[in-house]
Amino acid sequence: MLLAGLAMLPGGTVSAAAPGHPSLLITAAEVGPLRQGLDQYPLLEKTYQSLKKTADKALASPMAVPVPKDPAGAYTHEQHTRNYYALQAAGLCYLMSKDGKYARFVRDMLLEYSKLIPGLKNHPEAKSSSPGRLFHQALNDCNWVVYAIQGYDAVYETLTPAERKQIEDGAFRPLCNYFTQDLKSWFNLVHNHGVWAATAVGMTGYALHDQKLVDMALRGTQNDGKSGFLAQLNQLFSPDGYYTEGPYYARYALSPFYLFAQTIENNQPELKIFQYRDQILRKALQSALQLTNTDGRFYPLNDALKEKDWTTQELIAAISISFQRYGADNTLLGLVQQQKKLILSTGGLAVAKAAAEAGKNPPAYQRRSVVYRDGATGTEGGLAVLRAGAPDEQTSLIFKYTSHGLSHGHYDKLSLAMYDRGREVLQDYGAVRFLNIEAKEGGRYLPETKSFASQTIAHNTVVVDEASNFGGKEKVAETKSGEAWFADLDNPAAQVVSAKANTAYDGVQLHRTLALFRDSASGKPLVLDLFRVNSATTHQYDLPFYYQGQLISTSFQYDSFSTSRQPLGSKNGYQHLWKEAQSRPVRTPGLATLTWLDGPQFYSVTTATDTATHLVLARIGATDPNFNMRPEPALIIREKAKNQVFASVIEAHGEFNPTAETASGSRSNVERLTVLLDSPEATVVELKLRRGGTYRLAVANQDAGATKTHQVTVAGQPLKWQGPYQFKRL
């Protein structure tokens, strides 16, 4: 699919003008106003001084362009990383100061690389199907090109034709040829790696006035539009801007998306790249920011690291460019204040101006309840975030029913995670990885990412027969997704969202409904969780809740394996869970409550039980000889049945003050939780609180139409409602 207005040359190539230099992120005409802005706007000047510090440090050090040999985190890897940042910084410092020493540094270092790169083979530490030359993986080589080409673009006019030829033929073209020829299938991937690869080759193409490179970057190596930058824009984002690999990887991909879009706009404005797909890049940035916790950390879905937050380097460029192309958004100025950095561009100038005008108290960023569709056409499930409370006391409930998420996806259909006042209450593990820490397998993803973190049992969702969704097969998972059933975020009584996953297990239907509501007596939001499972044959169903904190009490008796432990199972992630205790059989249906303490707050999970319910207390860390995983606890609710309804309540209650040495409200407020009805037509559950009200949730199981009327009989009494659900205080 081509952009409207795309100028075509014979043979299907794209017509690109050949402007002067710089021509990538900024143009020659923008340099003057940027210089003037340094004296006017403190944040722009601070950004420049930071770049100058990086460049001056590099200039004052012996130039080092070592032969690559080390994995991530070790010397040669880190030195080449420092070098590409220094090349970009020095180039920008030359444009701002016109001091020739910065241009000479860029020239000399790129000449050294032009001697090194042509003789390189695959990196000695490469372990993937896309090995790099300078780094262990080609992705990092793309990072090098994206930053180094900016330095080259900045000093281009200072170089002789012979120097340009040597640098281009020795440094940039060999890597671009390697990406597009030797790693052709990798380059054509619709994936965050493919975005970085297209950006590296495309920015190089524009800087070198090489039409063939530009065409391949935009439309793939076959120039057919099935891959390349335009295909990435078409396929990686839903119409709402949700990025299919999850928010952690949206953060990483937004940098090359915005950098290359800016380059395209500066060279071929007729393509109107920032208007593409109804301003998809604007939506992508907005959705990525919404998918952060109150402390700015990205929700750790799929292969994510929990430490990454919205001050990350990759978002700085996106925000600056967004201000230029989509207009000022003052709600982002609080984030800018935290980042304390811009990019030196017209957009960065606009951000600096807005920040100066806003002063020390910019508008606060507003996180709201959202539902995002997944998939290029919005038909591959989605992600819901329900939020309640003031920003500093906000409760967030994340419900994931997306597509798989490409190679970084997890087998976690209908999983949930929960945060309260910034704290992770019910966790998604994320990835098992120590980023760039050489001692942990060179900073790569560790084996337990596949053997545990991506498996279904690692998530707060139902596992059938100790197997992962789709048999743990990525190719199968990529053809399936969750199914949005309904969502209502506007109901003042409760925010309710519901989704299904009927293809995750053969012959088993999964349907989960979550309601986030506030009871006037307790004052704190509660979660009512209704998870319905149906099958024609008997299965073992496990529903884990991974909680954060110290166990305080349980309402059920259990046998503790305090002197010896065994793994809970042998495969599909179960081998990594210690079985620490199991409940004793109960004679009558009732409730099971587990209460824990995290910081100043008590939390409880309460679930309705029957005589077949087994409860297991487990802990991550079994079969982990290198201690790669965090030893965190879980409550697992186990049932053997054909059809099963897991009804649970998650609540925050009471408080603990270690300074005053006081504790109050450590007991759960749930008095009764009963499944009143489960039929093909509807499921009805009733919740009674000790202090507060009694609530009833009825969910339509077969028709979620807004005008559809439902009528069922509950305890001999008719119950009627219109629409997909009814949530009512009795």
Both 179 and 320 in a single domain? Answer: no
- pLDDT tens digits, 586-615: 877 899 999 999 999 999 999 999 999 999
Of the candidates 344, 367, 390, which is a domain's last residue?
367
Of the candidates 316, 338, 367, which is a domain's last residue?
367
Q: Residue 598's pLDDT is what?
A: 95
Both 606 and 640 in a single domain? Answer: yes
Both 181 and 274 in a single domain? Answer: no
Residue 323, CA distances (Å) to 224, 260, 336, 357, 672 in order = 32, 16, 12, 15, 52
Both 638 and 496 in a single domain? Answer: yes
The verdict on residue 14 lying in a domain is no
CB-count exposure of residue 366 (10 Å: 0-12, 13-18, 19+): exposed
The verdict on residue 122 lying in a domain is yes
Average pLDDT, whole number, for the chain? 94
Both 606 and 714 in a single domain? Answer: yes
The verdict on residue 442 lying in a domain is yes
The verdict on residue 485 lying in a domain is yes
- pLDDT tens digits, 256-303: 999 999 999 999 999 999 999 999 999 999 999 999 999 999 999 999
What is the spatial distance between Cα 182 and Cα 723, in angstroms, rounded to a whole number?
A: 56
Both 458 and 310 in a single domain? Answer: no
Both 164 and 266 in a single domain? Answer: no
Catalytic residue annotation = 249, 408
CB-count exposure of residue 29 (10 Å: 0-12, 13-18, 19+): exposed
What predicted TM-score, i.e. pTM, was given to this entire model?
A: 0.93
- pLDDT tens digits, 212-240: 999 999 999 999 999 999 999 999 999 99
Which 3 state secondary structure label does DSSP give 215? helix
Q: Residue 19's pLDDT is what?
A: 59
Q: Residue 589's pLDDT is what?
A: 84
CB atoms within 10 A of CB 480: 18
Both 597 and 704 in a single domain? Answer: yes
Which 3 state secondary structure label does DSSP give 97? helix
The verdict on residue 257 lying in a domain is yes
Q: Residue 14's pLDDT is what?
A: 35
The verdict on residue 403 lying in a domain is yes
Query: For the chain, what percent of residues have pLDDT higher than 90?
Result: 89
The verdict on residue 9 lying in a domain is no
pLDDT band at 7 (very low <50, low <70, confident <90, very high): very low
CATH of the domain at 534: 2.70.98.70
Residue 560, CA distances (Å) to 548, 578, 594 in order = 20, 12, 15
**Nearest residue to 353 via CA among 383, 324, 375, 316:** 324
Cis peptide before 22 (omega within 30 of 0): yes
**Nearest residue to 402 via CA among 310, 299, 313, 318:** 299
Return the structure tokens found at 527: 């979660």
Both 624 and 546 in a single domain? Answer: yes
Return the structure tokens found at 603: 């939390």
Averaged pLDDT for residues 342-368:
93
Both 218 and 243 in a single domain? Answer: no
Count of the separate structural domains present in the chain: 3
The verdict on residue 7 lying in a domain is no
Return the structure tokens found at 694: 């009694």
Of the candidates 335, 367, 399, which is a domain's last residue?
367
DSSP state of 57: H
- pLDDT tens digits, 90-121: 999 999 999 999 999 999 999 999 999 999 99
Residue numbers of the domain that contains 363: 236-367
Both 277 and 206 in a single domain? Answer: no
CATH of the domain at 347: 1.50.10.100
Both 152 and 296 in a single domain? Answer: no
What is the spatial distance between Cα 245 and Cα 606, in angstroms, rounded to a whole number?
A: 32
